[in-house]
Amino acid sequence: MTLNRRDFLKISGAGAAITLTGCATTQSASGPRAHVVVVGAGFGGATCAKYLRTWGPNIDVTLIEPNDKFISCPISNWVIGGLRNMNDITHGYDKLSKYGIKMVKDSVIAIDPGKRTVKTRGGSTIGYDRLVLAPGIDVMTDSIKGYKEAESAGKVTHAWKAGAQTALLRKQLEAMPDGGTFLMAIPGTPYRCPPGPYERISLVANYLSQAKPKSKILVLDSNADIVSKKPLFMDAWTTKYAGMIEYRPANAVQAVDGSKMTASTEFDEIKADVLNVVPRQRSGDLCALAGVRDPNANWCTVNFATFESAHVPNVHVIGDSVQSGLPKSGHMATNMAKVCAAAIVELMAGRQPDAMPVVANTCYSATSGTTSGYVANVYRFDAAKKEYVNQPEGGATPKGDAANFVFNESWAKNIWADVLS
Amino acid sequence: MYKKIPLAIASFVGLALSGLAGAADIHTKSISATCLSCHGPGGKSLGAIPSLAGLEKDYFVKAMKDFKSGARPSTIMKRHASGYTDAEFEAMGAYFAGLKK
């Protein structure tokens, strides 16, 4: 096999660009410096910024994030279920300062990949050698008729980005009368956190079975079946919450009405006391702004060895926005962030990145206030297949138990600390 | 078929051109760092999940091989250990042994 010139340029493009812009070819801290801008300080972005500084002494890192605090989606279902409060899932960014990361509290409103600059709402123009986008998801509220109005009126929530809606949904559950109906609608795959809806249903059932046992949970799932950890959740729903949960597969919500408190599918209009309707999702809008979202599609194709966009050079995408067979989880975002950071450090030093990266996912879900189960998988990059291949022996626990609940708590503490300190 | 060159070959070409063998080292750093998402920053756990920092290399390698074979019972570690090679266990073991407890 021989390489033609175009192939060679494709392979060495990143290295060539570095030589042209005069960036570092050695890794000593005194060498020429490079600047990486990371946009979004969630699980992926904050991790990437931290590990870029840890491994790349010559790399200056600017981390742009509009929010003051990190609010974790993992464990946010525990807040909705009343097992934890908002403070437990809210963390500061202050401990990242020891890595020499420049934090900028602002939003990116324009990206110029030609000039390699980003513009912020606050009026700054910031140049980059490489840009990492970690915007999470955009919830497509337009895809459901009446959603935006009902959401603005506080009558429907998705609570699929932890924050104000998490707290609101908890309040609505507390205000719900005994004998009321909690309706949860689940979008079609792919969406953020595949087991998330089913964990939420379990923890709402856990709360209602104790506080309001005459209540009912109606689940309208756009998917044909439970998409993640089915045996785990079915076990909990049939043994712990028997009779409380009605699960309707292949039922997509098409419209909501906040004044009537109804959700409509193609079959029914259903009234509920609490409407928790999660719309379909796509890569964060920042991805469209940067031109890295796939044409006529929702997600972003990347080179899996570097997480560099397939469409725009020097722009990397990590986390939920990536088009892949990998689960869209906070844990996976941290693993992508580490592979991406390692690759950028190598590229900036004029070396080839690891050609065979490995990522893993670990995802615990609580099924009650004392039991959890997990799913765990290792994925190795296969260059010939151009995808991450799920390794043997990965999988989920069939039943929740107390030991995994303790590990679930420990996992959360450790991953928050790894991301933020 | 010449249009799709496997990255492994691309990497080999790159290494040959640059004369630097950084890939193995960054692979170890990167896969070891992915463990810390559960086991805590710097390999130091804040809770029930065990710490990795400062573990003796031989202990780590044996534990991982035993998780993989099933000789050592586990909740989640058989699923993780099964995804890595013996050579990676050795490299990760050396890496974690070098982290301060």
Give me the interface pTM, i.e. the ipTM.
Answer: 0.89
What does the domain layout of chain A look like in residue ranges?
A: 5-66+105-138+282-354, 140-281
Task: State the CB neighbour count (10 A cutoff) for residue B51.
Answer: 17
Phi, psi of A270 (to 5 degrees): -115, 130
pLDDT of A40 > 70? The answer is yes
Contacts of A9 (CB under 8 A, 6+ apart): A16
- Let me know if the fold of A5-66+105-138+282-354 is the same as that of A140-281: yes
Could you tell me the pLDDT band of residue A30, with boundaries at 50, 70 and 90? low
Contact A376/B13, CB-based, under 8 Å? no
pLDDT of A396 > 80? The answer is yes
Q: What is the pLDDT of residue A400?
A: 97
Contact B37/A362, CB-based, under 8 Å? yes
Q: Tokens 């420990």 map to which residue? A: A410
Q: Give A1's contacts in chain B (Cβ within 8 Å).
A: 2, 5, 9
Side-chain half-sphere CA neighbours of A302 within 13 A:
31
Per-residue pLDDT reduced to its tens digit, A121-148:
999 999 999 999 999 999 999 999 999 9
Domains by residue range for chain B, with CATH:
23-97 (1.10.760.10)
Q: Which CATH class is domain A140-281?
A: alpha beta
Question: Is any Cβ of chain A less than 8 angstroms from the Cβ of B99?
Answer: no
Specify whether the CB–CB gap between A108 and A135 falls below 8 A: no
Per-residue pLDDT reduced to its tens digit, A145-188:
999 999 999 999 999 999 999 999 999 999 999 999 999 999 99
What's the rounded Cα separation, in Å, for the pair A8 and A406?
Answer: 51
Structure-token pair, residue A387: 């995808």
Q: What is the pTM of this model?
A: 0.90
Alpha helices, H only, A41-129: 43-55, 76-80, 86-89
Q: What is the pLDDT of residue A116?
A: 98
Q: Give B27's contacts in chain A (Cβ within 8 Å).
A: 354, 356-357
pLDDT of A276 > 80? The answer is yes
Q: What is the pLDDT of residue A29?
A: 60
C-alpha distance from residue A407 to each of A284, A371, A402, B55 (Å): 31, 10, 9, 20
Average pLDDT, chain A: 93
What's the rounded Cα separation, in Å, for the pair B41 and B44?
Answer: 6
**Nearest chain A CA: its distance from B58 CA (Å):** 23
Contact B76/A376, CB-based, under 8 Å? yes
What's the rounded Cα separation, in Å, for the pair B98 and A208?
Answer: 49
Per-residue pLDDT reduced to its tens digit, A58-81:
999 999 999 999 999 999 999 999
**Nearest chain B CA: its distance from A23 CA (Å):** 15
What's the rounded Cα separation, in Å, for the pair B8 and B3?
Answer: 14
CATH architecture of A5-66+105-138+282-354: 3-Layer(bba) Sandwich (3.50)
Least confident of A6-15, A41-50, A332-341, B54-63: A6-15
C-alpha distance from residue B87 to each of A305, A389, B27, B84 (Å): 20, 19, 12, 8
Element (H, E) at A37: strand A34-39
Could you tell me the pLDDT band of residue A32, with boundaries at 50, 70 and 90? confident
Q: What is the pLDDT of residue B25?
A: 83
pLDDT of A225 > 90? The answer is yes
Q: Give B7's contacts in chain A (Cβ within 8 Å).
A: 305, 355-356, 381, 383
Question: Is A257 strand, coil or helix?
Answer: strand
Ranges of residues in chain B with a pLDDT under 70 are 1-24
Average pLDDT over residues A80-86: 98
Q: Tell me how many degrees the CA angle A213-A216-A220 measures, rounded to the nearest 5.
A: 150
Q: Give B23's contacts in chain A (Cβ within 8 Å).
A: 346, 351-355
| Number of cross-chain residue pairs from A and B with Cβ atoms under 8 Å apart | 163
Contacts of A254 (CB under 8 A, 6+ apart): A144, A145, A264, A265, A266
